[in-house]
Chains A and B, each alone.
Chain A
Amino acid sequence: MNPSSTSNQTNERVEWVRASMERHEAELLRYALSLVGDLPSAEDLVQDAFFKLCKQEPESLRGRLVPWLFTVVRNQALDRHRRESRWPRAAEAEASQVAGNSPTPSASAQARDDVRNLMSLLTALPPNQREVVRLKFQNQLSYREISHLTRLSETNVGFLLHTALKTLRQRFERLDAGPGFSQARSPLHPSSPQ
């Protein structure tokens, strides 16, 4: 192998990693954040995943780059959790954010209330449902991909999604019902100031 072909390969790898980062870092960060609950930790997970990517042959990941990246992030998060028993933090952190500002009567406030509402509703779901909902509706993974990633059966994934949607729907409806409004807004913080 002559030096120039080596340097070509290096360039190709760097470009591949760079492109992969640009494409996927945002979705991975969202996912990682939902797992660990704080951004620096999420960044660590994602950065580590890309470090690992540097050691992979592009050919070997052909067709499964994204599931691979998600899996690396997930496994690292799980591992940290095992070591530190911090897994549930994400839920609490999500909830803590919900109890933030009081709304103002503008449309943007309405919009962000909506987001916060959803976050609070999501937070109230069991972690496995929450994760599956995110993977399906935020990361656009299919049942099959989620099943590979979480090592749950496809049937199980379908059941979790079904249950989660059902719950969310009931809570949306309660949310829209008007009275009991502030309570529905923030199930984990029924008395939080709104």
Chain B
Amino acid sequence: MKSSPSPADWTPDSPELTAFALKDGPFDPSVPGWAERRAAAEQAVARSAPLRAEIGEIRRVADDVETDLSREAIHRLSADRREAVLAYARNPGRGLPRRSSAGSSPEADSGWHRLWSRVTRPAMGYSLAAATALSIGLALWSAWPSASRPSPAVAVRSGASNAPAEASPSISADRSTPTPMPTSASASDTPFIAQPQEETLRGEPQLAWGSPGRLPGPSAASTATVTSATLATSPLPGSPASVAGLNQYGLVAPVDSADALAGPASAAAFPTAIPTAAPAVAPAAAPAADLARKSRGLQAAPVTPTAQAKTSMPRPRAQTTREIPFQSAATAPRSTFPLKPGNTSYPQIRKALQEGQLPSPDAVRLEELLNYFSYDYPAPSGSDPVSAQVEVADSPWSPDHRLVKIGLQARPAQTAGRPRANLVVLVGLSPGSSARLSWAQRSLQALIEALDGRDSLALLIDGPQGRLILPPTAAADRASLIRGVRALRAEGAPRGLEGLRRAYALADQHHVPGGINRVVWIVDGEFSAEAGTREALATLIREQTDWGVFLSVMGLGSEVPPESSEAPWMPTPAGGAYASAATPSEAQAVLRRELQPTPAAVAENVTVDVRFNPARVDQWRLLSQESQASAAAPNPSPPHSGAQMEAGRSVTALYEIVPTRATDGPRAGSGPESVGPSGGPSDLLSLEVGYRSPTNGRPQDPAQSSPPRSLQVGVPDVRRSSDAATADYKFAAAVVGYGLMLRDSPFKGDLTWEKVQILAEEGQGPDREGYRAEFLQLVRQARALQDGAVVNRRPKE
């Protein structure tokens, strides 16, 4: 692009602007001089609102196109075609072989002509294609190349991509008419589906990863100058082929071994060539991945406001979730609540309503709804890393009850004094997720832009032959980091445990004492740790967390379990964060939120202990779905121990309390209660938040580690109508009340849609981000639906 106009002369219709938006062409970081060009372009763009708007549009369309294209059916070569290639590879001395597809009719000239109309449909009926791809994938699983075998390293992106001289036609002249793919019988007969290889694969995973003791291990400083060539061709020691694909389709899906063994059989179940079949399109091939069109047509899904990383609250999937019932304060005076509730319930509800349906009651989880929104809590004062705010009023749906709103707020991040970060990103995406890979890449680029020069980043691919893409490299060497991100591939068949071990080993090796040491694990919905490794995975994460290396898990795509507890392989990472993102914009937002400021823990080993005063409280209940680690347990063992609170995070819980009969607390004015030391006999409850100062690094020996501290709050009983409560309180009550209505909860008392709507309206507050207004809209929609009225789908804009 020699004669391209200078950025100052760009118009929204300049092709250069598209290149800039896509970070490609002259703005490809691997092209010399890109940094200057980019700087000039950024200046020009900063001055021009139309250019900025155009860039947003270009990226949006690019995302959509990419997403849609990624949903196209994935095809694989049939087993006998592959075997024919491999047979030829064993003895390629002779001329090129005839193709193995048998039974074809001759006459090349007429073959193609007839074929396209007679035989095919390019995307071949999505469902069939998907089934085919999947079954072939399953069949091939067991034939995955032995991890321990050496093979030459080949890498791409050196830029030397000249057209091969040999890329000429010669062999097509006598080509017979292409035929349908081979029969399933031949697929299952195929000799290379061999058990021994599978054993090798599964038996010696560490070979694929290199042993942690033999990591290349250059120091962050020395790797700051890693060149592109090094990046592209640095397989792990002991690792086999490092064939960096330009694309990402290796295997269809990682499967459990049982499924793998069933592979050939399931291949047989899907005849692979059905020339005349109507293109029955099934969702399997087009996993309603992102709602690309929806985000264009309906609205961009607002992402979770502020805080909550999502973890904890294990919940059986697809089972009825029960609300926690009332407990007697006499027998169960203590409770706790999770610091990091999930955040998926609200988007699920929104999606259902947008489709004109009421959400399934199981999708409605009170604690998640509540914590989808942020509330205004005072920042902690003094040396406390966490503040607590409690507000009590009469329950809007059972005026004899109290509704207690508890909010914890962690100290906001101090960006200036942020400690050095040592990040290791492990990418384990399945093949066929090119769009997701590209979301991840884009989000990682944004992350890189936010890193300090002192920070370091490493990139690993978790695949059948896990590869180190970028050794820990100082962020000052941005070009290397960006090249590394671009070299990421979805190689398929992520191994989970080995990958994570490897990532932890790298993080350990470059551990920054007192810094932020974190592994970021990017997976998609097709990942599933092998059953036998789950325990080990859990142990590993726990050990490393104790060791001061934290984990963030980022699930991409709508098939990703919205919560860690729903991914059976995913042990709840104490002290880590789990986030899922169903759309590209959500992915970026989640990564931005989770990673960009790299939330440093302001408190560790945080425990929440709510004690009810049996003299004032007859029964209580936490407004939440039941969980295994339920607060319903009478005496919760160290509640949510090990959880950390990251800078700026907040969490909100609501308790409904049945006061003892004699209790008729003093009338009180409006406003949340100030918090004082606990222990008054007239208190309704006391709240104790225990924590330790973060070590953000390796724990010192126990004698030297920071002493446990705690924040104690006594909450006096007051009688106050909910009408007099703060806007935040009303809004929180509206949100939970909304959940109760959607669930048709037995605990909803005299709650009505109208009351929910009034609470929501009165609780709007400043609503700077517009989330509360959207909620109000959802209340109206749900109300209309439940009232049996016909709700028009929100028209596409």
Binding site for B on A (CB under 8 A): 10-27, 29-30, 33-34, 36-44, 46-48, 50-52, 54-56, 58-59, 61-68, 70-72, 74-76, 79-80, 83-84, 86, 89-90, 92-94, 96-97, 100-101, 107-108, 110-112, 114-119, 133-134, 136-145, 148-149, 151, 154-155, 157-159, 161-163, 165-166, 168-169, 172, 176-178
Most buried by B among A70, A79, A118, A142: A142
Q: Is the CB–CB distance between A63 and B157 below 8 Å?
A: yes
Docked complex Cα distance between A165 and B14 (Å): 12
Docked complex Cα distance between A52 and B170 (Å): 11
Docked complex Cα distance between A40 and B111 (Å): 11
Docked complex Cα distance between A84 and B245 (Å): 32
- List, in ascending order, chain B residues with CB within 8 A of A16's CB: 89, 151-152, 154, 241, 243
- List, in ascending order, chain B residues with CB within 8 A of A172's CB: 61, 64, 296
* Least CB distance, B17 to chain A, in whole angstroms: 8
- List, in ascending order, chain A residues with CB within 8 A of B100's CB: 47
| Sample of 27 A–B contacts (CB below 8 Å) | A14-B86, A15-B146, A19-B145, A23-B243, A26-B74, A26-B432, A33-B122, A38-B115, A39-B124, A40-B119, A40-B178, A41-B178, A43-B178, A52-B96, A55-B92, A59-B152, A63-B157, A65-B243, A80-B172, A92-B116, A97-B279, A107-B288, A142-B25, A149-B161, A154-B1, A165-B62, A177-B796
In the complex, B215 has a CB within 8 A of chain A: no
Q: Sorted from nearest, which 4 A-B pairs have the closest CB atoms?
A: A26-B249, A40-B178, A67-B161, A79-B169
- List, in ascending order, chain B residues with CB within 8 A of A67's CB: 156, 161-163, 246
CB-CB nearest in chain A for B23: A142
- List, in ascending order, chain A residues with CB within 8 A of B283's CB: 108, 111-112
Q: Is the CB–CB distance between A165 and B58 below 8 Å?
A: yes
Docked complex Cα distance between A93 and B435 (Å): 24
- List, in ascending order, chain A residues with CB within 8 A of B15's CB: 155, 158-159, 161-163
* Least CB distance, B178 to chain A, in whole angstroms: 3
Docked complex Cα distance between A34 and B181 (Å): 18
Interface mask (B350-372 → A, CB under 8 Å = 1, otherwise 0): 00000100000000000000000
Q: Is the CB–CB distance between A93 and B122 below 8 Å?
A: yes
Q: Is the CB–CB distance between A139 and B96 below 8 Å?
A: no
Q: Is the CB–CB distance between A40 and B120 below 8 Å?
A: yes
In the complex, B500 has a CB within 8 A of chain A: no
Q: Is the CB–CB distance between B77 and A144 below 8 Å?
A: no
- List, in ascending order, chain A residues with CB within 8 A of B296's CB: 172, 176
- List, in ascending order, chain B residues with CB within 8 A of A34's CB: 122
- List, in ascending order, chain B residues with CB within 8 A of A178's CB: 795-796
Q: Is the CB–CB distance between B18 and A43 below 8 Å?
A: no
In the complex, B681 has a CB within 8 A of chain A: no
* Least CB distance, B280 to chain A, in whole angstroms: 7
In the complex, B529 has a CB within 8 A of chain A: no
- List, in ascending order, chain B residues with CB within 8 A of A54's CB: 85, 88-89, 92
* Least CB distance, A148 to chain B, in whole angstroms: 4
* Least CB distance, A57 to chain B, in whole angstroms: 9
Q: Is the CB–CB distance between A65 and B101 below 8 Å?
A: no
CB-CB nearest in chain B for A161: B18
Given contacts A20-B243, A157-B25, contact A47 B164 (CB under 8 A): no
Docked complex Cα distance between A177 and B249 (Å): 35
- List, in ascending order, chain A residues with CB within 8 A of B1's CB: 154-155, 158
In the complex, B344 has a CB within 8 A of chain A: no
* Least CB distance, A120 to chain B, in whole angstroms: 11
Within 8 A of A (CB), among B89-119: 89-92, 96-97, 99-101, 108-109, 112-113, 115-117, 119
* Least CB distance, B498 to chain A, in whole angstroms: 18
Given contacts A44-B178, A140-B247, A165-B61, contact A110 B77 (CB under 8 A): no
Q: Is the CB–CB distance between B245 and A12 below 8 Å?
A: no
* Least CB distance, B284 to chain A, in whole angstroms: 9
Interface mask (B66-77 → A, CB under 8 Å = 1, otherwise 0): 101111101111
Given contacts A44-B99, A62-B153, A116-B281, contact A79 B247 (CB under 8 A): no
Interface mask (B129-155 → A, CB under 8 Å = 1, otherwise 0): 000010000001000111001111111
* Least CB distance, A107 to chain B, in whole angstroms: 5
- List, in ascending order, chain B residues with CB within 8 A of A114's CB: 68, 71, 286, 292-293
- List, in ascending order, chain B residues with CB within 8 A of A12's CB: 150-152
* Least CB distance, A64 to chain B, in whole angstroms: 5
In the complex, B300 has a CB within 8 A of chain A: no
Q: Is the CB–CB distance between B86 and A18 below 8 Å?
A: yes
In the complex, B383 has a CB within 8 A of chain A: no
- List, in ascending order, chain A residues with CB within 8 A of B28's CB: 142-144
Docked complex Cα distance between A30 and B77 (Å): 11
Interface mask (B52-64 → A, CB under 8 Å = 1, otherwise 0): 0000011001101
Within 8 A of A (CB), among B213-257: 232-233, 240-241, 243, 245-251
Q: Is the CB–CB distance between A50 and B85 below 8 Å?
A: yes
In the complex, B297 has a CB within 8 A of chain A: yes
Docked complex Cα distance between A41 and B525 (Å): 32
* Least CB distance, B678 to chain A, in whole angstroms: 50
Which one of A22, A27, A108, A145 contacts B144 once the chains associate, using CB atoms below 8 Å?
A22
CB-CB nearest in chain A for B72: A30
In the complex, B724 has a CB within 8 A of chain A: no
Given contacts A17-B85, A40-B178, A108-B288, contact A23 B65 (CB under 8 A): no
Q: Is the CB–CB distance between B86 and A26 below 8 Å?
A: no
Docked complex Cα distance between A179 and B102 (Å): 50
CB-CB nearest in chain B for A118: B68
In the complex, B180 has a CB within 8 A of chain A: yes
Q: Is the CB–CB distance between B282 and A108 below 8 Å?
A: yes
Which one of B123, B133, B248 contacts A119 once the chains associate, using CB atoms below 8 Å?
B123
In the complex, B175 has a CB within 8 A of chain A: yes
- List, in ascending order, chain A residues with CB within 8 A of B281's CB: 100-101, 112, 115-116
Q: Is the CB–CB distance between A97 and B171 below 8 Å?
A: no
Q: Is the CB–CB distance between B68 and A75 below 8 Å?
A: no
Q: Is the CB–CB distance between B158 and A64 below 8 Å?
A: yes
Q: Is the CB–CB distance between A17 and B89 below 8 Å?
A: yes
Q: Is the CB–CB distance between A22 and B65 below 8 Å?
A: no
Given contacts A17-B86, A97-B121, contact A22 B250 (CB under 8 A): yes
* Least CB distance, A47 to chain B, in whole angstroms: 5
Q: Is the CB–CB distance between A63 and B162 below 8 Å?
A: no
* Least CB distance, B93 to chain A, in whole angstroms: 9
Q: Is the CB–CB distance between A11 and B247 below 8 Å?
A: no
Docked complex Cα distance between A155 and B2 (Å): 8
* Least CB distance, B684 to chain A, in whole angstroms: 45
- List, in ascending order, chain A residues with CB within 8 A of B85's CB: 17, 21, 47, 50-51, 54
Docked complex Cα distance between A34 and B31 (Å): 29
Q: Is the CB–CB distance between B164 and A71 below 8 Å?
A: yes
Docked complex Cα distance between A41 and B16 (Å): 37
Most buried by A among B28, B122, B434: B122
Which one of A37, A90, A168 contacts B61 once the chains associate, using CB atoms below 8 Å?
A168
Q: Is the CB–CB distance between B286 and A22 below 8 Å?
A: no
Docked complex Cα distance between A176 and B228 (Å): 43
CB-CB nearest in chain B for A170: B61
Given A52-B167, A119-B72; 5 other pairs, CB 8 A cutoff: A58-B154, A66-B245, A67-B246, A107-B355, A176-B293
- List, in ascending order, chain B residues with CB within 8 A of A84's CB: 108-109, 112-113
Q: Is the CB–CB distance between B163 and A75 below 8 Å?
A: yes
Which one of A48, A52, A155, A168 contacts B4 once the chains associate, using CB atoms below 8 Å?
A155
In the complex, B37 has a CB within 8 A of chain A: no
- List, in ascending order, chain B residues with CB within 8 A of A10's CB: 89-91
Docked complex Cα distance between A20 and B465 (Å): 13
- List, in ascending order, chain A residues with CB within 8 A of B157's CB: 63, 142, 145
Docked complex Cα distance between A115 and B402 (Å): 51
In the complex, B797 has a CB within 8 A of chain A: yes
Q: Is the CB–CB distance between A68 and B119 below 8 Å?
A: no
